[in-house]
Amino acid sequence: MHITFIQPSVGRKADGSPYPSSWVMEPLSIAMLSALTPPEHRRTFCDERLEPVPYDQHTDLVCISVETYTARRSYQIAARYRERGVKVVLGGFHPTLVPDEAEAHADAIVVGEAEGCWTTLLDDMAAGRPKPRYMSDERPRLAGLVADRSIFGEHRYGRVSLVETSRGCGFACEFCSISAFFERSCTERPVEEVIEEIKTLKGVIFFVDDNIGVDPARLRALCEALIPLRRKWIGQVSIHVARDPELLALMQRSGCEGVLVGFESLDPDTLRSMGKSVNAGARDYAHAIGAFRRHGMAIYATFVFGYDNESEETFRRALAFAEEHRFFFAAFNHLVPFPGTPLYRRLKDEGRLLLDPWWLSPDAGFGQVVYQPSSMSPGELTRLCERYRHRFYRSSSIARRALDWRANANSPTKLALFLGYNLWSDRQITLRQDLPFGIAT
């Protein structure tokens, strides 16, 4: 068969604005599917974020990786191909969390991880007898799995190489679709295989693990194996890693340049409400931040707004905190009720969802609040998030944060990256805000 893999865009603004380049990174899930595909099948790839979908080119099967933000656009693409008689498979986070919805837009869907059922699906497709739904009997072992980046062809995704060393997270934040998808379980690749993959890659390594520090012993083993490679890397960790100075020193020696940390809130009651137990137990954010910075690690901090009893003062405190601690990046996000999460179920039960399903609504767009907050209007919460994002990336804030010689500017190269990415980020906020889901038809 000729198989076409497609990475869909979220949508397009009517004014013809360029697609946010901050979202255009290697679609690692596509590379993993390509690696699982037997060599007798011809494979091509389209990244709609960079190019038009080639509807007129011959193909036998179209496979689309679907996230909730891209669901409406994915269904539009699927419909165009199915009208031509081309079979379509949908997989990824969104079809797993709402399989009945996704099944109505495809000839087959993959629920959960594809490793245990992908070749069976392809055999059934080639024989002309596909089943509507495929899923693995158990979590797959990740040993022996290496992404096939050759599928990307001439597409260029910058100087950052994405690497997966594990999947899943053991925590249970109520807004997190990752926890819902993996059911709070975590699987790991052998460290030696991760190292061999990194040897073939260029640039900074971004470990895409949902929480690379969930198993400190394994993180130690990974860092020790990374030291001889002398490679720079960044990754997502939970704040409890900062309690272990020996581990932080090892991360620094292994090339860790920065960490993404979900602070989410400065209020202990809000942290308890969202189920962020690892942060509620950390108590002293300032101590943890100081520990990261002493080891030369820049911090990308995320905050979530929209819980009960919050006001603009909540935003002011978060901005002051982010600037005081000179974060490299910071995200000021509102709650998003992703399907399948405890948050979605709670807001639905409380009658607070304004659009349901919001991800399919032509009236919704990225950055817009789709539920009724308890202490302000949806529009006010939307505007506050956008306003404080811009304030964090204004020139005076960038200048103050650039003076962090321990983390943000501990080398000329890192200072240049800090200045370039921070100035660029303000423009990206504008491009992302109100980006519609799908394309108007």
Percent of the chain with pLDDT over 70: 96
Torsion sign over Cα 380, 16, 440, 50? negative
The answer to whether 200 and 147 have CB atoms below 8 angstroms apart is no
CATH of 2-135, one of 3.30.1490.20, 3.90.180.10, 3.40.50.280, 2.60.120.1570: 3.40.50.280
More confident position, 243 or 6: 6
* Residue that has been written with the tokens 């990336």 in this structure: 393
Mean pLDDT of 237-255: 94
pLDDT at residue 305 is higher than 90: yes
Annotated domain spans of the chain: 2-135, 159-432
Report pLDDT for 182.
63
Buried b (16+ CB within 10 A) or exposed e, 152-161: beebebeebb
**Is residue 139 pLDDT above 90, yes or no?**
no
Which tops the pLDDT comparison, 141 or 332?
Answer: 332
Measure the CA–CA gap between 368 and 366, rounded to whole angstroms.
Answer: 6
Of 211, 217, 344, which is closest to residue 278 (Cα–Cα)?
A: 211
Cβ neighbours around 346 below 10 Å, total: 14
Query: Which pLDDT does position 283 carry in this prediction?
Result: 59
Average pLDDT, the chain: 93
Separation in Å, CA 352 to CA 71, 129, 337, 374, 384: 22, 42, 10, 9, 20
Cβ 221 vs Cβ 245: under 8 Å: no
User: What pLDDT is attached to residue 169?
Assistant: 75
- Residue 279 pLDDT > 80, yes or no? no
d(CA 301, CA 315): 14
Rounded-to-integer distance, Cα 363 and Cα 434, Å:
10
Task: With beta carbons less than 8 A apart as the criterion, state whether 41 and 3 touch.
Answer: yes
pLDDT surpassing 90 at residue 172: no
**Residue 15: pLDDT above 90?**
no
Record the tokens describing residue 210, joined without a space: 């949902």
Q: What is the pLDDT of residue 393?
A: 97
| pLDDT score recorded for residue 184 | 61
| DSSP codes joined into one string, 388-440 | HHHHHTSHHHHHHHTT-TTTTTSSHHHHHHHHHHHHHHHHHHHHHTTPBSB--
Residue 281 clears pLDDT 60, i.e. is over it: no
pLDDT tens digits, residue range 49-72?
999 999 999 999 999 999 999 999
SS3 298: strand
Residue 183: pLDDT band (50, 70, 90) is low
Separation between Cα atoms, residue 369 and residue 352, nearest integer Å: 11
Q: Which CATH number fits domain 159-432: 3.40.1440, 3.20.20, 1.20.58, 1.10.357?
A: 3.20.20
d(CA 338, CA 379): 19
Say if CB 186 and CB 168 are below 8 A apart. yes
pLDDT, mean of residues 5-30:
93
* Residue 428: both structure tokens together: 């990206």
Residues 295 and 286: their CA atoms lie apart, in Å, by 14
Average pLDDT over residues 309-324: 96
Query: If you average pLDDT over residues 221-230, what whole number do you get?
Result: 97
- Which pLDDT score, from 0 to 100, does residue 77 have? 98
**Bigger pLDDT: 117 or 174?**
117
> What confidence category does residue 137 fall into, taking pLDDT thresholds of 50, 70 and 90?
confident
3-state class of 160 per DSSP? strand
The residue to which tokens 């900062």 are assigned: 242
% of the chain exceeding 90 in pLDDT: 81
pLDDT digits (tens, 9 = 90+) for 378-399: 999 999 999 999 999 999 999 9
Residue 39 Cα distances to 36, 43, 59, 360, angstroms: 9, 9, 16, 36
